[in-house]
Chains A and B, each alone.
Chain A
């Protein structure tokens, strides 16, 4: 596939750490927009939603890495850690805006986590991301061996919880949260279709070495 080869060639020239820079700059830029009155009359909620939505998109982007390689031969594996850690960073930013700027009281933050199921679900996703973030380094991969992969399967339930968190939060039936959930479900389903996966990679003629 010419396009895949092109993407692979170009992406090889991009150092993975640029993703961290982009994430920090993006978060900082949004914060500045909120501060300077450019996120509308209610910047707290706007910033909260922006950070949450970026976190969800990055979680989804992380889930896309494997299928992109398997089905299209696009290899972005070397960016996966940076994508995942940036997702964690935006989840923490999302939580911080909610706790510090929106709810504004630690007592109330705790009450909300315990009493409101949609907050509980979001919080569970954040907590489950912590061990993943802590083990996103070469030393942990070496030390944990097979268990590293097992631990990082947590990304699947985390993505589902994040999708549920979004659906649960809205009023009525707007399209967006359901689209996100559908994408997550499809990306997870791809993992549970091992036979088709093999077939597809054979069809597209991907040599084993490309994996």
Chain B
């Protein structure tokens, strides 16, 4: 049984509600007053982004490829009567409601760095449960080496699906030890509020040491399988988006460097930040011992 991950950040580190709701407005005021350097400099390494930032800058191609498209279009997503189909090599397969799947598990609040493969990053205070708890509940059978996930497809509510920007449904997967790692969670909220649709409501994966595309949104299917499952971005372009997709400053994306990242929410003159191996979550290093560092990507 894996250890439970201890959050070394407490409620005191969470930005007060008045601040997280409108930090950008405060910043904008600061810019007007010529205080921009002060604000940017005072920002702590793990100061969570404002809820507004987190809700307005998203990749969710089912709702369009622009960063503001998901916030504009995701309102149409129907999350009522949500069920998640759990299948494959598990003891208790079936169609679970959200409450049946996670309602009785230990609720966690985790402030994680979030690093997109496009070389930008945020800090997000998630609420949810450890994926390991869910997998233990449904009972993983021996030989179940991977977990495969799928995102909901609602063509009538998803303009990106109608245009076939990428193949849908969006698919992602983890190796079983990655899925069982205590850092891996299924999130149902941010800042204690339910997830906005563009953030992957009502339930999504969060794998903080991997590029964001691994953290699949709006999950409707969890399958325990023996072989490495199909995953959307790897299948489209394996050179650019690997199966492991661990954050790694030393392995460039073929079209851009991964050595540094742009921090979202810092304004027009915010400094780039050095990217950390495993996004700073060194405790996962043992999962990849003996692997070629390039294969990590």
Closest-by-CB residue of B relative to A118 is: B255
Q: At the interface, yes or no: A111 with Cβ under 8 Å from chain B?
A: yes
Q: At the interface, yes or no: A137 with Cβ under 8 Å from chain B?
A: no
Q: At the interface, yes or no: B14 with Cβ under 8 Å from chain A?
A: no
Q: Is the CB of B257 within 8 A of A42?
A: no
> How extensive is the interface on chain B, given as a class?
35 or more
- A41-B265, A116-B256 given as contacts; is B165 within 8 A of A174 (CB)? yes
- A139 contacts across to B, CB distance below 8 A: none
- A37-B27, A172-B166, A174-B65 given as contacts; is B264 within 8 A of A101 (CB)? no
Binary contact track A160-176/B, C-beta < 8 Å → 1, others 0: 00000000111111110
Q: At the interface, yes or no: B163 with Cβ under 8 Å from chain A?
A: yes
Nearest CB in chain A: distance from B164 CB, A: 8
Nearest CB in chain A: distance from B167 CB, A: 9
Complex: how many Å from CA A47 to CA B267? Answer: 11
Nearest CB in chain A: distance from B248 CB, A: 17
> Is chain A's interface secondary structure helix, strand, loop, or mixed overall?
helix
Q: How many interface contacts (CB-CB < 8 Å) are there between A and B? A: 76
B163 contact from A103, A111, A116, A175, Cβ within 8 A:
A175
> How extensive is the interface on chain A, given as a class?
20 to 34
13 contacts between A and B (CB under 8 A): A41-B50, A41-B265, A42-B57, A42-B67, A44-B268, A45-B262, A46-B67, A103-B272, A116-B255, A170-B65, A172-B65, A172-B166, A172-B236
Q: Is the CB of A43 within 8 A of B49?
A: no
Complex: how many Å from CA A40 to CA B27? Answer: 12
Complex: how many Å from CA A40 to CA B262? Answer: 14
Complex: how many Å from CA A117 to CA B65? Answer: 22
Closest-by-CB residue of A relative to B64 is: A174
A47, A104, A117 interface centre (most CB from chain B within 10 Å): A104
Complex: how many Å from CA A41 to CA B50? Answer: 9
Q: Is the CB of B120 within 8 A of A104?
A: no
Residues facing A in B61-95 (CB within 8 A) are 61, 65, 67-68
- A101-B268, A116-B255, A170-B65 given as contacts; is B53 within 8 A of A41 (CB)? yes
B270 contact from A44, A169, A171, Cβ within 8 A:
A44
Residues facing A in B19-46 (CB within 8 A) are 24-25, 27-28, 31-32
Binary contact track A174-195/B, C-beta < 8 Å → 1, others 0: 1100000000000000000000
- B267 contacts across to A, CB distance below 8 A: 35, 37, 43
- B270 contacts across to A, CB distance below 8 A: 44
Q: Is the CB of A35 within 8 A of B31?
A: yes
B65 contact from A45, A112, A171, Cβ within 8 A:
A171
Binding site for A on B (CB under 8 A): 24-25, 27-28, 31-32, 49-50, 52-53, 56-57, 61, 65, 67-68, 118, 120, 163-166, 236, 252, 255-257, 260, 262, 264-265, 267-272
Closest-by-CB residue of B relative to A102 is: B262
- 7 new A-B contacts at CB < 8 Å, known A35-B267, A103-B272: A34-B268, A35-B268, A37-B24, A43-B268, A44-B268, A101-B269, A112-B257
Complex: how many Å from CA A42 to CA B54? Answer: 11
B272 contact from A42, A46, A104, Cβ within 8 A:
A104
Complex: how many Å from CA A168 to CA B270? Answer: 26
B32, B163, B256 interface centre (most CB from chain A within 10 Å): B256
- A112 contacts across to B, CB distance below 8 A: 256-257
Complex: how many Å from CA A45 to CA B272? Answer: 12
Nearest first, the 5 closest Cβ-Cβ pairs linking A and B are A37-B28, A41-B53, A174-B65, A172-B166, A41-B57
- B165 contacts across to A, CB distance below 8 A: 172-174
- B164 contacts across to A, CB distance below 8 A: 173
- B268 contacts across to A, CB distance below 8 A: 31, 34-35, 43-44, 47, 101
- B24 contacts across to A, CB distance below 8 A: 37, 41
Binary contact track A33-55/B, C-beta < 8 Å → 1, others 0: 01111101111111100000000
Nearest CB in chain A: distance from B2 CB, A: 33
Complex: how many Å from CA A115 to CA B252? Answer: 10
Q: Is the CB of B31 within 8 A of A37?
A: yes
Q: Is the CB of B166 within 8 A of A173?
A: yes
Complex: how many Å from CA A34 to CA B65? Answer: 21
Complex: how many Å from CA A23 to CA B246? Answer: 43
- A35-B31, A174-B65 given as contacts; is B264 within 8 A of A42 (CB)? yes
Complex: how many Å from CA A29 to CA B271? Answer: 23
- A116 contacts across to B, CB distance below 8 A: 255-256
- A45-B262, A173-B165 given as contacts; is B56 within 8 A of A40 (CB)? yes
